[in-house]
Amino acid sequence: MGVEFKNGVIKDGGRVVGNVKRDVIREGSSSSPGSGRVVGNVKRDVIREGSSSSPGSGRVIGNVKGGVVRRGSSSSAGSGSKLGKTRDYSIKGADYVDETIMVACYHFLVRRIF
């Protein structure tokens, strides 16, 4: 079955693992976007880890620029060591979602990459 994205909810094998709303990624089994434990957020193509629901707060763990995923602690998109391409961390149904959000959801809800 695999990982699927629909209406802000991420499922893995048919089981809800989390959701995303307003650039904030939450972990939990609820199918309502905006509920669950905050695990990270995205702002200006930079992925941050933390429990705050404010995009831009927390510890920088990576970024995405031009389809390239990078690990690093800088808040500048495009800096850091290259991990791969965004297509390496794709989620079915997330084609219309910002690529940084998709990579962040993959990292926090499917498999750690940073």
What span, in angstroms and rounded, lies between the C-alpha atoms of 55 and 38? 11
- Residues 57-78 pLDDT 10s: 999 999 999 999 999 999 999 9
pLDDT at 1: 63
Q: 9-14 contacts: CB < 8 A, separation 24 or more?
A: 9/33, 10/91, 10/105, 10/109, 10/110, 12/109, 12/110
pLDDT at 93: 95
Amino acid at 68: V
Locate the domains of the chain by residue range.
3-110
Query: pTM of this prediction?
Result: 0.95
- Residues 25-59 pLDDT 10s: 999 999 999 999 999 999 999 999 999 999 999 99
